[in-house]
Amino acid sequence: MMKKYETPKVTVIMYVKNGAPYFRRALDSVVGQTLREIEVLIVDGGSTDDTLEIAEEVSERDDRVRIFSCGKGSVGAQFNLGVREARGEYIGIVESDDYILPEMYETEYRYAKETACDILRADNHIFFELDRQEIRLRTKVSQDNSVYGRELRAGRDDESIQTGGSYWTGLYRRAYLLDNKIRMNESKGAAYQDFGFLFLASAMAESLYFLDDAFYCYRKDNPNSSCNRPRDIRMVHEEYDFLKKELIGRGLWEHLKKYYYLWKIRNERWFYYNLDKADQKRFFPYFYEDLKNASAELSDLDIKWNIKEKKLLEAAGRSETSFADCLELRMQEWESACKIMQRINRGDTIYIFGAGNIGRIMCHYLQSRKVIPKAYIDNNAGLWGTEQGEVKVLFPDAVEAEPEDLFLICSENYADEIREDLECRGIPDTQTAIVDDMDACVRFIMRQMKE
């Protein structure tokens, strides 16, 4: 039996409710860490399946595993309970349908101690299963390579720190969270409470470190995921209300509101496009009111909006009909992109504009279909001349396009800017497809690979 440690280096919080289909793998990946000085807190939210039996079975043979019950029906309440009960120097989080690689906490704890950081963040892998085969792809927590491997500090490096991304990929110093009363929103349900937590934790960190490595494996094919099946359409809306109150109460609002609005609008837009038609209709009034009410205040803020965000804000300022039309146009552009991608055949000349997360995912998909991309194109001079998965990265001026060549514009935030650049180079819309949403891209790939 593995004995518990009185002062563990890392406390791993696993909040769960009815997670039996995937929970055993997640838990085994945690107790199997090469860093042995850990404790595992399983906080159950009222499971009625075999989740507790799995937890109890593992805890009987491993004293490092402790089980708690939280009946509030809230991931935020489960997480906050875990933080209060934790004894570790650092806190990690593993969700019940994911898993982590064996060396995750040994590596992350070493870097956290060397840098004495409040927060350590790392890249992660996304994965899904097709025909009993796992497809796993690395994604970056930041597309700005300069943030990796150096100390960042709130107040000095806010532009780099407020990058969004996923909060479970790294570590949080427990004393830092407790001393600053940083907690999750205890709203009902199991989704989006991490938005406010990650923003606030990053905004107050004396030291934050980005590790250029990936250990956390995030499942994309759980049909019961709360992100795929939201119980309350107002969850994102209410999460940002919670965050705004926190920032105002802590005297951080004036300094950080431009990042707040950037996160809020991007997350609400992402949320809208990842809902089904019925839920989009339910969410639309909240989305429209948020953007309409914010548009006046945003005019005086120095926010780096991209073209599609500017268009959306301008449409919301004009009328509800204009806003709806703007959203619908984006849906039509995505449908058009899907039709183009479905027609791609072996032998076609394909350029992928954007060597970031979406570009690499699309490249992997094309290669699985025996379609070899001609090259990546990227505006990042630091990537020119390198290779990503044996595909060269070129600068735009190096491309001599033919009329039959296709360009997949793979950029979450700057697809419209890239399309304008290509148009200036004489490449028409008929040769381009905008792929600007990673989740929609993954769903497309999963559908195509099943056919």
Task: Please check the confidence at residue 39 and state whether its pLDDT lies above 80.
Answer: yes
Handedness of CA 25, 30, 36, 42 (dihedral sign): negative
Task: Please check the confidence at residue 451 and state whether its pLDDT lies above 80.
Answer: no
Nearest CA to 92 out of 81, 82, 102 is that of 82
Tell me how far apart the alpha carbons of residues 185 and 299 are, in angstroms, rounded to a whole number.
29
Tell me how far apart the alpha carbons of residues 337 and 450 are, in angstroms, rounded to a whole number.
19
The SS3 of residue 130 is strand
Helices (H), 193-276: 193-204, 235-249, 253-273
Tell how strand 375-377 and strand 350-353 pair up.
Answer: parallel
pLDDT value of residue 67: 97
Tell me what the mean pLDDT of segment 285-301 comes to: 83
The SS3 of residue 16 is strand
User: Model-level pTM?
Assistant: 0.91
Tell how strand 10-16 and strand 38-44 pair up.
Answer: parallel
Nearest CA to 353 out of 416, 309, 307, 303 is that of 416
The percent of residues above 90 in pLDDT, for the chain, comes to: 64
Task: Please check the confidence at residue 433 and state whether its pLDDT lies above 70.
Answer: yes
Sorting pLDDT into bands at 50, 70 and 90, what band is 1?
low
Per residue in 79-128, pLDDT (tens digit) is 999 999 999 999 999 999 999 999 999 999 999 999 999 999 999 999 98
341 and 444 Cβ atoms separated by less than 8 Å: yes
Beta strands across the sheet bearing 432-434: 387-388, 391-394, 375-377, 350-353, 406-409, 432-434
Per residue in 371-404, pLDDT (tens digit) is 999 999 998 888 899 998 889 999 998 888 888 8
Tell me how far apart the alpha carbons of residues 280 and 287 are, in angstroms, rounded to a whole number.
10
Q: Tell me the two tokens of residue 438.
A: 């990673």
312 and 291 Cβ atoms separated by less than 8 Å: yes
pLDDT value of residue 231: 60
181 and 135 Cβ atoms separated by less than 8 Å: no
Tell me what the mean pLDDT of segment 193-214 comes to: 94
Sorting pLDDT into bands at 50, 70 and 90, what band is 297?
confident
* Mean pLDDT, the chain, integer: 90
DSSP letter at 407 equals E
List Cβ neighbours of 361 (8 Å cut-off, separation of 6 or more): 126, 137, 139, 410, 438, 441, 442, 445
136 and 226 Cβ atoms separated by less than 8 Å: no
Per residue in 145-191, pLDDT (tens digit) is 889 999 999 888 888 887 777 899 999 999 999 999 999 999 887 67
Nearest CA to 350 out of 391, 304, 298 is that of 391
Sorting pLDDT into bands at 50, 70 and 90, what band is 225?
low
Tell me how far apart the alpha carbons of residues 341 and 408 are, in angstroms, rounded to a whole number.
8
pLDDT value of residue 187: 83
pLDDT value of residue 229: 54
Q: Tell me the two tokens of residue 409.
A: 């514009």
Tell me what the mean pLDDT of segment 34-60 comes to: 95
Tell me how far apart the alpha carbons of residues 187 and 60 are, in angstroms, rounded to a whole number.
32
The amino acid at 444: F
Task: Please check the confidence at residue 343 and state whether its pLDDT lies above 80.
Answer: yes
Per residue in 7-36, pLDDT (tens digit) is 899 999 999 999 998 999 999 999 999 999
Task: Please check the confidence at residue 2 and state whether its pLDDT lies above 80.
Answer: no
pLDDT value of residue 203: 93
pLDDT value of residue 400: 85
